[in-house]
Amino acid sequence: MSEDDAAGLLGDLLAECVRRDASDLHLAPDLPPYLRVEGVLEPLSERPRVSPTEIEAVAAWMTRGLDQTPLHATGSLDGALTGASGARYRFNVFRRQGQLAISIRQLEDRFRTLPELGLSESLYRMCDLPDGLIVVAGPTGAGKSTTLAAFLDRINQTRRCHMITIEDPIEYIHTSKTALVNQRQVGTDTCGFYEALVASLREDPDVILVGEIRDLNTIRTAIVAAETGHLVFTTVHAGDCVGTIERLVAVFPADEQDGIRRQLALVLRTVIAQHLLVADGPAAGRGVPFFSKDGRGEKTSAAESAAPPRRTRVVTSEVLIVTPAVANLIASAKANQIYSAMEAGGAAGMQTLEQDLARLWVAGRISETSAVAMAKNPNVLRDRVARMRGAGRGER
């Protein structure tokens, strides 16, 4: 298969991805293409199966210019590309049973604001901090990159500073506005997060984005960068705010963990832990849906008008602001008390997962079933819902 044929096949599949508003496209040998629409993975049975030769050709076209070492050494390679429609995609090429397969995720086509993402506008104050560490946590596909992009776009528009991003791959393109932005991609511009982060400290940055911190050296260097006058944004795969702190500490040897806790207590500014839920409540269609492509959720054709309404997804999150009291709890390893501080910290901008789930439930954005399934403590959730409804009726 020629390069032109490979590009044409990929272009056709990406166009289908856009047409169906699919979040993901999967190509596996001798199977039809699969699309994930509204969270459900289904084959494009009307299209022919994709042969191993076709997948290899598409993979070669997608990864041209990338360092192929990870594919040969570990069996997978990350990257990003821009489709003919202007949509941005993140991809992973991986080896399975001696043959290649490809997973492609469609990214948001514009920068969202924090309120659009279901987060408080007050969190924008983090963009004005001179230094510190800000962590966005959550499982894969929870929109962590989208939330970080909202912060960086705000900084790009409002601060005269130098911003360096280290990503694998680059998902959102930030064109320099008020800020000077330099984006580096692992595998093409640098060999790894740690190496790029160390180098960035010699590049006069004010703000640094580390796409993900997962190993000891990268975490240690990110903490040092935050200590030495830089504002550092990053992501961690963790389910909640307290779990994020414990995840960062647990990477270190036991004899270092007390010291790392004290360092984190000094540099950590905010942890946001978020999850995506299907908006299945009675008022699910109200407001701006998280993954609406045009930001309005409007239908644009007669065919779309005749189609059943699409489900949208909403963000539920918990937010930890590191106040002096919280910093003391982190330093003294009293993680079990941090949750109580979050419950009582609404005035400082904090919220627990149960508080946010209760808000979405009472507002009719999600159903009781979805809220209870996501809650860590369903009884606490129901108590918060009862309080909100009582306050709405003027009860004391």
Q: Which two tokens stand for residue 30?
A: 């001798």
Of 299 and 84, the one with more pLDDT: 84
Q: Is the pTM of this model over 0.75?
A: yes
Exposure b/e, 202-212, CB count within 10 A at least 16 = b:
eeebbbbbbbb
Rg from Cα positions in the chain? 22
- The residue written with tokens 């270190």 in the block is 252
Domain boundaries, the chain: 3-106, 115-311+320-349, 352-396
pLDDT in tens, 197-220: 999 999 999 999 999 888 999 999
Give the pLDDT band of residue 67 (cuts 50, 70, 90): confident
Instruction: Name the average pLDDT for the chain.
Output: 88
Do residues 135 and 268 lie in contact, with contact meaning Cβ atoms separated by under 8 Å? yes
Do residues 95 and 76 lie in contact, with contact meaning Cβ atoms separated by under 8 Å? yes
- The secondary structure of 87-117 as a DSSP string is -EEEEEEEEETTEEEEEEEEPPSSPPPTGGG
pLDDT in tens, 360-393: 999 999 999 999 999 999 999 999 999 999 886 6
Decide which of 3.40.50.10320, 3.40.50.300, 1.10.510.10, 3.40.50.620 is the CATH code for 115-311+320-349: 3.40.50.300
Q: Which amino acid is at 161?
A: C
Provide the pLDDT for residue 361.
95
pLDDT in tens, 296-353: 333 333 333 334 444 578 899 999 999 999 999 999 999 889 999 999 999 999 999 9
- The residue written with tokens 């299907």 in the block is 278
Q: HEC string of 357-388?
A: HHHHHHCCCCCHHHHHHHCCCHHHHHHHHHHH
So what CATH class is 3-106? Answer: alpha beta
